[in-house]
Chains A and B, each alone.
Chain A
Amino acid sequence: MADQPTALERFIQGVLPENPVYRQLLGLCPTLAVTNSLTAAVTMAGAVGFVLLCANVIISLIRNLLKPHLRIVVFTLTIATFVTIADRLLAAYLYQMSKTLGPYIPLIIVNCIIICRCEVVASKQGPVAAASDAIGQSLGFGLALASIAVIREILGTGALFGIRVLPTVWPDWVIMGLPPGAFLTFGILLGVVNWFTDRRKAA
């Protein structure tokens, strides 16, 4: 285990150097689907964070019992359980938000970020490293979602968190709230991130 990154390294890597959205291109379904408003994006990131943390810790605790050919089943079972809990919690305590997010909460079950972290970290390292990895990756996911949502919500509705920020003369770009707006914003941001990374490497 000596060659495995430490808990702190796992955390730092998740936020930017190995950002799940911009560097690993994982979990793109919610990234594109629920980023038309910042509130929805933050809630989605929170739900993914909750599921990732719980799943990572549980998998890490039982990692020595896992059989190689049955590990994916165990991952999926664990993830599905916590997604269901997250879905019920949202419906009970954030009812309006759960209505807005609709089917995208149950779809966290098939979010590749979580299964990837279970495979890469939780099934190999202890619970502390797994937990800090989960928090780092969730932060990275949250930042990525928020960056797209801020642009889309401001340009699409002229508002942020539902509060008007652009002058009313701004003609709301409806397309930013629609799927094409998600692809455009994400593509441009991804290009910017890659450009910065290349420049830093060259320097």
Chain B
Amino acid sequence: MDSATSQITGGFQSNKLVQAWLVLVLAVVFGISLAGVQLVLGPIIEKNKMNETLEKVPELVLGKDLAAKMAGENQVLEITPNHVMVENAGRSKFYSVYEASYQGDRKGWVVKNKGRGYADTIELLVGFSPDFSSITGLFVLDQKETPGLGNKIIFEKWRNQFINAPTDKPLVVVKTGSTRPEEIDAVTGATISSKSVTVLINSVISDLKEPLTAAPNEAGKEDKDNG
């Protein structure tokens, strides 16, 4: 009885597999073509992301007007990308740090950080002055916040509040009417999105301020932060 049942199901299953030959063949063919597509397009996509970051560095470090002026005079900032590892509560975290300099003079830093927003991950670029004492710019690389509310964090008007904010005190989000430089007005109806942004910036400051300012000549090189 048992063996008869298993024979039936066995024959049935193999029969199903035979029936599914088209699905299997298609899966293999499509899989190979997708791998090909990824091989060709993957590097281009990575380059797009990198380009966007590098494009934003001058503006974030120098401010929009000066960056436009420099571009107009064909002066180009040298941008050195680095990875900095920070040990925090037993866990190590990697930051992409871009050091911008012009004719050997350091003009500032841009740090990439990402973390939880209201809807999905928010990815930011934050610009800092050469001595890391104040914020010089903010750009949102990626976000999926609520359209019309939380996604206003991408607008220049809101981001400009961060320019010249000091790094000696953590940034605080207030509902409206910020009076002190470290206070940031929340986007109306999107307090969580606004807070997520300041949390991300605060963690950059607390993690990187010391390592990057500790070694003024060669800061930003890997494992500099550990010693």
Interface residues of A (CB under 8 A from B): 36, 62, 65-67, 70, 73-74, 77-78, 81, 84-85, 88-89, 91-93, 95, 99, 102-103, 174-175, 177-178
- Tell me the B23-44 residues at the A interface (CB within 8 Å): 23, 26-27, 30, 33-34, 37-38, 41-42, 44
Which of B26, B41, B49, B149 sits near A77, CB closer than 8 Å?
B26
Which of B34, B41, B52 sits near A81, CB closer than 8 Å?
B34
The 19 sampled A-B contact pairs (Cβ below 8 Å) are A65-B22, A70-B20, A70-B23, A73-B20, A74-B22, A74-B23, A77-B23, A84-B34, A88-B42, A89-B41, A92-B48, A95-B45, A95-B52, A99-B142, A174-B148, A175-B148, A177-B148, A178-B147, A178-B148
Q: With A67-B19, A77-B30, A177-B148 known to touch, is A84 a contact of B45 (CB < 8 Å)?
A: no
Residues from chain B with Cβ under 8 Å of A66 in the complex: 22
Q: Give the interface SS of chain A, mostly helix, strand, loop or mixed.
A: helix
B175 contacts A by Cβ under 8 Å: no
Which of A70, A84, A89, A91 sits near B48, CB closer than 8 Å?
A91
Residues from chain A with Cβ under 8 Å of B142 in the complex: 99
Residues from chain A with Cβ under 8 Å of B144 in the complex: 102-103
How far does the alpha carbon of A137 sit from the alpha carbon of B66 in the complex, in Å?
50
Residues from chain A with Cβ under 8 Å of B22 in the complex: 62, 65-67, 70, 74
Residues from chain B with Cβ under 8 Å of A36 in the complex: 147
Q: How far is the CB of A59 from chain B (nearest CB, A)?
A: 10
Interface residues of B (CB under 8 A from A): 19-20, 22-23, 26-27, 30, 33-34, 37-38, 41-42, 44-45, 48-49, 52, 142, 144, 147-149
Tell me if A70 and B19 are in contact (CB < 8 A). Answer: yes
Q: With A74-B26, A178-B147 known to touch, is A81 a contact of B45 (CB < 8 Å)?
A: no
How far does the alpha carbon of A93 sit from the alpha carbon of B41 in the complex, in Å?
9
Which of A70, A81, A102, A174 sits near B30, CB closer than 8 Å?
A81
How far does the alpha carbon of A84 sit from the alpha carbon of B41 in the complex, in Å?
12
Q: How far is the CB of A122 from chain B (nearest CB, A)?
A: 14
Which of B27, B30, B38 sits near A88, CB closer than 8 Å?
B38
Q: With A77-B27, A91-B48 known to touch, is A177 a contact of B147 (CB < 8 Å)?
A: yes
Residues from chain B with Cβ under 8 Å of A62 in the complex: 22
Q: How far is the CB of A7 from chain B (nearest CB, A)?
A: 25
Residues from chain B with Cβ under 8 Å of A73 in the complex: 20, 23
| Closest chain B residue, CB of each to CB of A179 | B147
**Shortest beta-carbon contacts, A-B, top 4:** A81-B30, A92-B44, A95-B48, A92-B41
Residues from chain A with Cβ under 8 Å of B148 in the complex: 174-175, 177-178
Q: How far is the CB of A86 from chain B (nearest CB, A)?
A: 10
